[in-house]
Homo-oligomer: A and B are copies of this chain.
Amino acid sequence: MLDPVSRVRRFNRAVTSAVGALDTSFLGRGRPLGAARVLNAIGHGRADVGEIRDYLGLDSGLMSRLLRSLEDEELIETTAHENDARRRIAKLTAAGKREFNAYEAISNRQAKDFLAHHSQREALLAAMDLIASALGRDATALHEMDPRSDEARYCLGEYYAELARRFKQGFDVKLSRDPDAKDMVRPRGSFIVAMSDGLPLGCVGLKGTSAEYAEIKRLWVAPAARGLGLGRRLMDAAEHAARELGIVLLRLDTNSALAEAGQLYRRTGWTEIPRFNDDPYPDLFFEKRL
């Protein structure tokens, strides 16, 4: 019925009015929106005045005045940056924290109300994740993390669940050569998680071995982030880490049921090689020389 462009525009209209409603509800605390936005940025952990100014896109004069008004209300305190006294660091006072929590409560209540009014919760949340990831694609950052961190374990859990769905014979992590976490931290290896605004969207492990090669393991991209080139970015980061560690040969195993992954490897300079382990799940093996 509607062409794709009209559908995107319909979405924009729907969302514009919803965003407007959120803004208006913030006005209920008797503070202009600009000041509320600065207070919330600080509450969410942004401390550097310049960073807040960039994030909110404000003129430096305006920013300065907004900070002053929040200081007059005794909601924030500013101090000089310890290494650079030109820069200012803003921090919530106790009263500021209370006020910030009140804003948080408004936001949480609105989100909760929205969810409560819709019986399709999971479908709706999945759609929101997908769109937020697509819009925030440029904001997706890769972080090297311990594979035992919450974020990494969340990714691995999702990864295993997906393998169980996609492999005809299911998937049991215990049957697979589960890479020891210690092989995926420096200096033997690395583990990289893609984070977008607090949500882990993908991961990849670089596992050091006792052989002359290192292995790429656990490449996973959240359904909400597929098609955005994140797999490619994760692989590039893993290769980069390998180079830093002086690794010259990489190997990986995969399964032909994971078609997207196979395509990615072929497109990025990997060559198929014969089986090099006895893991029961993989049926495709690749190698890349750095």
Residues of A within 8 A of B (CB): 1-2, 4-20, 22, 57, 107-108, 111-112, 114-115, 117-121, 123-137, 150-151, 154, 197-200, 226-228
Contact = CB atoms under 8 A, between A and B. Distances in A.
25 contacts: A1-B154, A4-B115, A4-B121, A4-B125, A5-B111, A7-B129, A10-B128, A10-B199, A11-B128, A11-B129, A12-B111, A13-B197, A14-B132, A14-B133, A14-B197, A19-B19, A20-B57, A114-B134, A118-B228, A119-B228, A123-B130, A123-B227, A124-B134, A126-B127, A127-B130
8 tightest CB-CB pairs across the interface, nearest first?
A120-B227, A127-B127, A8-B111, A11-B128, A14-B132, A119-B227, A1-B154, A14-B135
**Counting chain B CB atoms within 10 Å of each CB, which of A18, A57, A112, A200 scores highest?**
A18
A272 to B, nearest CB: 24
B108 A134 contact: no
A13 B12 CA distance: 14
**Counting chain B CB atoms within 10 Å of each CB, which of A5, A11, A14 scores highest?**
A11
Please tell me how many copies of the chain the complex holds.
2
Given A10-B198, A127-B131, A108 B18 contact: no
* Chief secondary structure at chain A's binding surface: helix
A227 B123 CA distance: 10
A135 B129 CA distance: 16
Contacts of A200: 1
A19 B108 CA distance: 21
A110 to B, nearest CB: 8
A10 B150 CA distance: 19
Contacts of A12: 19, 22, 107, 111
Contacts of A129: 7, 10-11
A118 B199 CA distance: 20
A107 B17 CA distance: 16
Contacts of A18: 135
Contacts of A11: 128-129, 131-132
B115 A10 contact: no
A191 B118 CA distance: 27
Contacts of A119: 227-228
B7 A108 contact: no
A8 B128 contact: yes
Given A108-B5, A129-B7, A227-B120, A15 B15 contact: yes
Nearest to A16: B19
Nearest to A195: B1
A213 to B, nearest CB: 32
B108 A9 contact: yes
A133 to B, nearest CB: 8
